[in-house]
């Protein structure tokens, strides 16, 4: 396992050489290189208009793979994900000579962030340039020029390899922020209809996202769901009962329930989105708990992969069931004047995306850090919301799920089945061979 | 008898949504000026339109960003072609983002507030388009911030106006500008000088602010439109401004509803003349038009968005091949065809190489129809510029009663258009009262033609770092006369006064 200032000497190129022992030296710690880029990425997700939750999850997936493979290229305790992830061919290997882990990671992540956030705004471009400049200088400090050049070349090559793989997944190009230019609602009372007065949101977000290439799960419909309760406007029907639960809950929300709804609201362009919320938690734990580099890159890779797959599976089901939102049903059947506590997202209801992604995240994080791993969630501290304490990742995931009912944007079935779907999808990421 | 005549005159109104033709006279007029700069000047780019040499023609003070601000003296022939000439005035300084005209010392000569990246500077008008720095004389601390918004009001009994300044990002924050919004300031007078600025915290990167009597109470509140790109935990805001009390935010308990947009400009007018102004908020993609959910005495600040219903979302370019979402900046309600209905101009332009938003983003000129729905006419009117626009002013530059248009573009020449008509009849109304606040900021002007009422609140602020100082312009349609009254800032109302069309009127208290 690499320690501070990962510094490797390789006698010749080739897979066998990666097994040579690392020569640890004091110097630049690679871990902050990783966490600093993730901190910036969370801001870029919030401030880049195309970064809806599925798009953000995809980027976290690829950033995780790039970070992991950068370390795995030089650390024999890590197994490459090539051959384990759909369509990922073997990655570039180190050339002969010494490499510096921090420099490899810096080159790879700076290249990756530049690519995945090439469309961010002027402040994001400025922040990327500043981060690249300052971290380049930090990792170069005291490093022999040939080592720096070799390490930089390796990191850039790994990033380029993964980027080329990413470009072919079907999700690389996002137009009109992911909203089709036209949409004709289905002539079916159970069908989703737009719920927003925003003109751009009169079509469902990313209706084809369920068809893009997953990372670790075989296909978008691998973790298929049972259908939601049959649509009915009859009082006493299962569907009506679910809607009444949302309605009556909204009328008697406690302060704690309102807080939970807002804590997990994670709105696009106002936050780092639901997958960003889980990335924040993980990135924060790396620093607060002093996690090792290998554990950190493993966690960020499998977390990103699991969440990216979660959105693909979730969106496949959303498209298949195309269910209307609570606000549509409740206004139609129960109370025309009702409004939910939080904004209703502009896409079909079943299952709940936040539930699916949280189920996948909890599955992966539990696999990496263990069951009953207590932590404080500081995600929204800078926005004035106090940290929340959880006894396990699943406790947090369950709360994220039920927050959507408190917020009035999901029925219970979408939450429960979403969490179950996330557990199923997350198992593919959790099951990847990584740390030996 | 008077009313009957007016009704008769209105019986043949101007054709619905007559589209006036605007002739661009940027080059021929001599308006050669650019607002330039990179990151610190991605917002800003304002213009102040006001008469600084008592010739009844608005002169223009234009922000320059990294270049110097400039005073363009209006040499237009009344009713004829537009002409401007830059003249040394004292405002020639760098780092100016915007400018608002206001008579701070009530001497009848218009002063200027220059908003800057750095210290804001108040310039006392000396007459004949000359100005001198007055920060020290008036005790106004210009601070050191990235200032991007201004509003002013006159609190009862004050000898100087209360001036609110909206500030943006910490200009020195290079790595993490997000969450670095700096405090807005309230400059309140203490006697004949300003006291130390009061911080309006929390502040959320304001790009437009406006004092307004939103609820017909006779009291002014401060609306603040904030750019969600940079705040953390922020939202749109409105502050109470009670006499002798510190400013206080409206709360959810009072009916305020959380709204988070890329707030960039505020335009207001009382579209339905019910005594409660509507607010147009520019943003990226959809823009908002807010109307009170329940207008009336005791109204709470609970607004609904009627932009879509009224045809003013202006969320993407209405012409050309570029269909990516729009970016809106300066907005202003003004009756450009003089049909007695407020129209709406919106300046558009990409922030700065943001590829998810339109690069060829034409400005909007939305004409209001008889049904209250607005229709795009910028292309037909000839003002659909695709330059990266920021500030602007819809103002009568050649004193012919037809509103012209000047627009400031970022890293491109400012543009000016002359309104060549056809337009209906018109009236301008200037106010005069003794003592401080001689032009009655905070008053309402009402113009009645038959049963059709128009109401203008006299404000300083709003838009995008751009302001107009001068008489209120009203279109009258085919009416050859109108009735006018003023509700003065203290709430007292003048009698209705008959006025002939197509002339300026001054109501003196």
Chain B contact set for A280 (CB, 8 A): none
pLDDT digits (tens, 9 = 90+) for A131-163: 999 999 999 999 999 999 999 999 999 999 999
Q: Are the C-beta atoms of B181 and B193 separated by less than 8 Å?
A: no
Q: Are the C-beta atoms of A102 and A31 separated by less than 8 Å?
A: no
The answer, yes or no, to whether residue B130 has pLDDT greater than 90, is yes
* A386/A377 Cα distance (integer angstroms): 9
Mean pLDDT along residues A381-395: 96
Confidence band (pLDDT; 50, 70, 90) for B353? confident
Interface list for chain B against chain A, based on CB atoms closer than 8 Å: 38-39, 42, 169, 174-179, 228-230, 232-233, 260, 284-286, 305, 307-308, 313, 315-316, 323-325, 351-357
* A341/B303 Cα distance (integer angstroms): 16
**Chain A: residue nearest B169 by CA?**
A123
Peptide bond preceding B422 in cis form (omega within 30 of 0): yes
Helical segments of B245-373, H only: 307-310
* B390/A215 Cα distance (integer angstroms): 44
User: Which residues 152-181 of A are in CB contact (within 8 Å) with B?
Assistant: 176-177, 181
Which DSSP state fits A333? I
Give the pLDDT score at B234. 95
* B508/B236 Cα distance (integer angstroms): 37
Q: Do B285 and A181 touch (CB under 8 A)?
A: no
* B470/B396 Cα distance (integer angstroms): 10
Instruction: Confirm or reject contact between A213 and chain B (CB < 8 A).
Output: no
| C-alpha closest to that of A309 among A275, A352, A272, A285 | A275
Q: Do B308 and A382 touch (CB under 8 A)?
A: no
The answer, yes or no, to whether residue B138 has pLDDT greater than 60, is yes
The answer, yes or no, to whether residue A2 has pLDDT greater than 90, is no
Give the pLDDT score at A331. 98
Which DSSP state fits A331? I
* B184/B180 Cα distance (integer angstroms): 12
Chain B contact set for A127 (CB, 8 A): 174-177
Interface test with A, best of B285, B314, B327, B359 (most A CBs within 10 A): B285
Least confident interval from A2-6, A358-362, B161-165, B279-283: A2-6
The answer, yes or no, to whether residue A88 has pLDDT greater than 60, is yes
Question: pLDDT exceeding 70 applies to what percent of chain B?
Answer: 97
- Please state the φ and ψ torsions of residue B162, each to the nearest 5 degrees: -85, 130
Q: Do B177 and A383 touch (CB under 8 A)?
A: no
Mean pLDDT along residues A16-43: 71
Interface test with B, best of A197, A263, A382 (most B CBs within 10 A): A197
Q: Are the C-beta atoms of A403 and A265 separated by less than 8 Å?
A: yes
Mean pLDDT along residues A407-415: 98
Q: Would you tell me how many other CB atoms lie within 10 Å of the CB of residue B118?
A: 18
Give the pLDDT score at A217. 98
Helix orientation angle between A293-321 and A412-430, rounded to the nearest 10 degrees: 140
A198 vs B179, B230, B286: nearest CB: B286
| C-alpha closest to that of B114 among B103, B122, B102, B124 | B122
User: Which residues, including other chains, have CB under 8 Å from residue A252's CB and lie 6 or more apart?
Assistant: none
Question: pLDDT exceeding 90 applies to what percent of chain A?
Answer: 92
Q: Do A199 and B354 touch (CB under 8 A)?
A: no
Confidence band (pLDDT; 50, 70, 90) for B6? very low
How far does the CA of residue B246 sit from the closest CA of chain A (Å)?
23
Chain A contact set for B351 (CB, 8 A): 121-122
How far does the CA of residue A120 sit from the closest CA of chain B (Å)?
7
A43 vs B176, B285, B308: nearest CB: B176
Q: Do A119 and B356 touch (CB under 8 A)?
A: yes
The answer, yes or no, to whether residue B72 has pLDDT greater than 90, is yes
CB environment B444-480: b (16+ within 10 A), e (fewer): bbbbbbbebbbbbbbbbbbbbbbbbbbbbbbbbbbbe
Q: Are the C-beta atoms of A360 and A333 separated by less than 8 Å?
A: no
Confidence band (pLDDT; 50, 70, 90) for A113? very high
Mean pLDDT along residues B37-49: 97
User: Which residues, including other chains, have CB under 8 Å from residue A432's CB and lie 6 or more apart?
Assistant: A81, A84, A85, A216, A302, A305
Q: How many CB pairs under 8 A join A and B?
A: 83
Give the pLDDT score at A9. 56
| A335-341 CB contacts, 8 Å cutoff, 24+ apart | A335/A247, A338/A247, A338/A250, A339/A408, A340/A246, A340/A250, A340/A407, A340/A408, A340/A409, A341/A250, A341/A253, A341/A258, A341/A261, A341/A262, A341/A406, A341/A407, A341/A408
How far does the CA of residue A37 sit from the closest CA of chain B (Å)?
12
Give the pLDDT score at B15. 44
Give the pLDDT score at B175. 87
Chain B contact set for A385 (CB, 8 A): 233
For chain B, what is the mean pLDDT? Answer: 95
Q: Do B177 and A270 touch (CB under 8 A)?
A: no
User: Which residues, including other chains, have CB under 8 Å from residue B169's CB and lie 6 or more apart?
Assistant: A123, B146, B177, B180, B181, B182, B205, B230
Helix (H) or strand (E) holding A408: none
Sketch out chain A's domains with CATH numbers: 17-166 (1.20.144.10), 181-430 (1.10.606.20)
Give the pLDDT score at B171. 94
The complex's ipTM works out to: 0.89
Give the pLDDT score at A8. 56
pLDDT digits (tens, 9 = 90+) for B223-269: 999 999 999 999 999 999 998 899 999 999 999 999 999 999 999 99
Q: Do A130 and B354 touch (CB under 8 A)?
A: no
Least confident interval from A16-20, A255-259, A396-400, B444-448: A16-20
Confidence band (pLDDT; 50, 70, 90) for B174? confident
Chain B contact set for A382 (CB, 8 A): 179, 232-233
Interface test with B, best of A48, A119, A198, A276 (most B CBs within 10 A): A198
How far does the CA of residue A400 sit from the closest CA of chain B (Å)?
19
- What tokens were used for B95? 């780092």
How far does the CA of residue B43 sit from the closest CA of chain A (Å)?
11
Q: Do B233 and A200 touch (CB under 8 A)?
A: no
Q: Do B179 and A382 touch (CB under 8 A)?
A: yes
Mean pLDDT along residues A398-423: 98
Confidence band (pLDDT; 50, 70, 90) for B14? very low
How many whole angstroms from its chain centre is CA A279? 6
Chain B contact set for A118 (CB, 8 A): 355
The answer, yes or no, to whether residue B10 has pLDDT greater than 90, is no
Mean pLDDT along residues A343-365: 98
User: Which residues, including other chains, have CB under 8 Å from residue A289's CB and lie 6 or more apart?
Assistant: none
- What tokens were used for B415? 């543009």
The answer, yes or no, to whether residue A436 has pLDDT greater than 50, is yes
* A289/A368 Cα distance (integer angstroms): 14
Q: Do B325 and A176 touch (CB under 8 A)?
A: yes
The answer, yes or no, to whether residue A17 has pLDDT greater than 90, is no
A122 vs B260, B284, B352: nearest CB: B352
| C-alpha closest to that of A434 among A301, A330, A345 | A301
Give the pLDDT score at A21. 32
* B503/A105 Cα distance (integer angstroms): 72
A123 vs B177, B286, B323: nearest CB: B177
Chain A contact set for B179 (CB, 8 A): 382
- Assign 3-state DSSP to chain B and report helix, strand, coil percentages, each to 5: 5, 40, 55
Interface test with B, best of A46, A50, A123, A267 (most B CBs within 10 A): A123
The answer, yes or no, to whether residue B98 has pLDDT greater than 60, is yes
Q: Are the C-beta atoms of A1 and A89 separated by less than 8 Å?
A: no
Chain A contact set for B357 (CB, 8 A): 49
Give the pLDDT score at A14. 37
Give the pLDDT score at A20. 34
Chain A contact set for B38 (CB, 8 A): 122
Q: Do A200 and B325 touch (CB under 8 A)?
A: yes
Give the pLDDT score at B4. 35
Q: Do A177 and B325 touch (CB under 8 A)?
A: yes
**Chain A: residue nearest B178 by CA?**
A43
Mean pLDDT along residues B105-124: 98
- Please state the φ and ψ torsions of residue A108, each to the nearest 5 degrees: -65, -50
Least confident interval from A25-29, A349-353, A381-385, B420-424: A25-29
pLDDT digits (tens, 9 = 90+) for B314-352: 999 999 999 999 999 999 999 999 999 999 999 999 999
Chain A contact set for B315 (CB, 8 A): 198-200
- Residues across chain A: 436
Interface test with B, best of A45, A199, A379 (most B CBs within 10 A): A199
Helix (H) or strand (E) holding A330: none
């Amino acid at each position: 396992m690499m320690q501070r200032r990962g510094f490797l000497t390789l006698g010749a190129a080739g897979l066998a050489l990666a097994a040579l022992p690392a020569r640890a030296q004091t110097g630049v710690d690679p871990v902050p290189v990783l966490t600093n880029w993730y901190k910036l990425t969370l801001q870029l997700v919030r401030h880049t208009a195309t970064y809806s939750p599925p798009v953000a999850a995809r980027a976290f997936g690829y950033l995780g793979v790039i970070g992991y493979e950068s370390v795995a290229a030089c650390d024999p305790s890590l197994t490459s994900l090539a051959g384990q992830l759909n369509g990922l061919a073997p990655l570039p290997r180190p050339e002969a000579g010494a490499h510096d882990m921090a420099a490899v990671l810096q080159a790879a992540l700076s290249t990756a962030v530049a690519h995945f956030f090439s469309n961010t705004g002027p402040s994001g471009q400025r922040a990327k340039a500043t981060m690249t400049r300052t971290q380049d200088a930090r990792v170069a400090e005291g490093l022999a020029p040939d080592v720096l050049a070799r390490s930089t070349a390796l990191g850039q090559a790994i990033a380029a390899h993964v980027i080329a793989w990413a470009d072919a997944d079907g999700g690389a190009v996002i137009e009109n922020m992911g909203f089709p230019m036209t949409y004709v609602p289905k002539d079916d009372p159970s069908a989703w209809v737009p719920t927003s007065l925003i003109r751009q949101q009169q079509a469902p977000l990313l209706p084809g996202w369920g068809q893009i290439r997953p990372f670790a799960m075989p296909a978008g419909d691998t973790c298929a769901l049972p259908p939601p309760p049959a649509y009915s406007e009859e009082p006493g029907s299962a569907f009506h009962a679910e809607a009444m639960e949302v309605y009556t809950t909204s009328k008697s929300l406690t302060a704690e329930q309102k807080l939970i709804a807002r804590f997990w609201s994670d709105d696009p362009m106002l936050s780092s989105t639901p997958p960003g919320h889980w990335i924040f938690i993980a990135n924060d734990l790396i620093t607060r708990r002093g996690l090792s580099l290998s554990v950190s890159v493993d966690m960020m890779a499998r977390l990103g992969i699991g969440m990216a797959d979660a959105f693909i599976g979730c969106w496949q089901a959303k498209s298949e069931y195309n269910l209307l939102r609570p606000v549509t049903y409740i206004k139609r059947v129960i109370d025309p004047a009702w409004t939910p506590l939080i904004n209703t997202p502009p896409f079909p209801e079943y299952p709940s995306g936040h539930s699916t992604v949280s189920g996948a995240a909890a599955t992966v994080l539990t696999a990496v850090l263990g069951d009953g791993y207590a932590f404080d969630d500081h995600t929204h501290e800078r926005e004035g919301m106090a940290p929340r304490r959880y006894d396990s990742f699943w406790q947090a995931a369950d709360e994220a799920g039920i927050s959507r009912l408190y917020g009035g944007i999901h029925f219970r079935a979408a939450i429960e089945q979403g969490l179950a779907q996330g557990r199923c999808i997350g198992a593919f990421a959790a099951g990847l061979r990584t740390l030996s | 008898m008077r009313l009957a005549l007016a009704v008769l005159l209105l019986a043949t109104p101007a054709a619905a949504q007559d589209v006036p033709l605007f002739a661009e006279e940027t080059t021929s007029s001599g308006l050669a000026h650019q607002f330039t700069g990179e990151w610190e000047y991605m917002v800003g780019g304002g213009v102040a339109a006001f008469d600084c040499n008592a010739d009844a023609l608005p002169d223009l003070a234009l922000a320059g960003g990294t270049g110097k601000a400039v005073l363009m003296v209006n040499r237009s022939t009344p009713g004829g072609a537009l002409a401007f000439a830059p003249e040394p005035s004292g405002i020639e300084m760098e780092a100016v983002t915007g400018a608002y005209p206001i008579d701070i010392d009530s001497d009848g000569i218009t002063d200027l507030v220059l908003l800057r990246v750095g210290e804001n500077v108040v310039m006392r008008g000396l007459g004949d388009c000359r100005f001198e720095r007055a920060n020290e004389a008036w005790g106004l601390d210009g601070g050191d911030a990235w200032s991007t918004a201004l509003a002013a009001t006159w609190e009862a009994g004050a000898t100087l106006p209360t001036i609110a300044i909206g500030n943006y990002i910490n200009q020195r924050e290079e790595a993490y500008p997000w969450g670095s919004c700096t405090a807005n300031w309230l400059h309140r007078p203490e006697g004949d000088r300003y006291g130390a600025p009061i911080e309006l915290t929390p502040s959320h990167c304001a790009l437009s602010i406006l004092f307004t009597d939103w609820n017909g109470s006779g009291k002014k509140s401060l609306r603040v439109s904030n750019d969600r790109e940079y705040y953390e935990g922020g939202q749109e805001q409105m502050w109470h401004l009670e006499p002798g009390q510190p400013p206080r935010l409206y709360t959810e308990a009072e009916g305020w509803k959380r709204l988070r947009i890329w707030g960039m400009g505020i335009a207001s007018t009382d579209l339905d003349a019910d005594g409660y102004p509507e607010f147009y908020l520019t943003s990226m993609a959809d823009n908002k038009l807010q109307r009170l959910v329940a207008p009336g005495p005791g109204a709470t600040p609970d607004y609904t968005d009627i932009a879509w219903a009224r045809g003013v979302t202006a969320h993407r370019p209405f012409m050309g091949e570029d269909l990516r979402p729009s970016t809106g900046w300066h907005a202003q309600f003004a009756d450009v065809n003089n049909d007695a209905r407020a129209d709406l101009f919106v300046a558009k332009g990409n922030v700065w190489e943001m590829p998810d938003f339109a690069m060829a983003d034409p400005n909007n000129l939305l004409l209001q129809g008889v049904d209250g729905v607005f229709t795009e006419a910028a292309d037909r009117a000839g003002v659909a510029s695709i330059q990266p626009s920021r500030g602007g002013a819809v103002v009568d530059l050649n004193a012919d009663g037809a509103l012209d248009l000047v627009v400031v573009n970022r890293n491109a020449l400012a543009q000016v258009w002359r309104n060549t008509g056809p337009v209906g009849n018109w009236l301008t109304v200037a106010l005069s009262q003794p003592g401080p606040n001689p032009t009655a900021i905070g008053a309402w002007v009402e113009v009645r033609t038959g049963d059709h009422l128009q109401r203008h609140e006299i404000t300083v602020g709003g838009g995008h770092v751009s302001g107009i100082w001068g008489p209120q312009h009203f279109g009258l349609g085919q009416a050859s006369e109108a009735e006018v009254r003023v509700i003065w800032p203290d709430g007292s109302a003048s009698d209705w006064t008959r006025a002939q069309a197509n002339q300026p009127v001054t109501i003196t208290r």
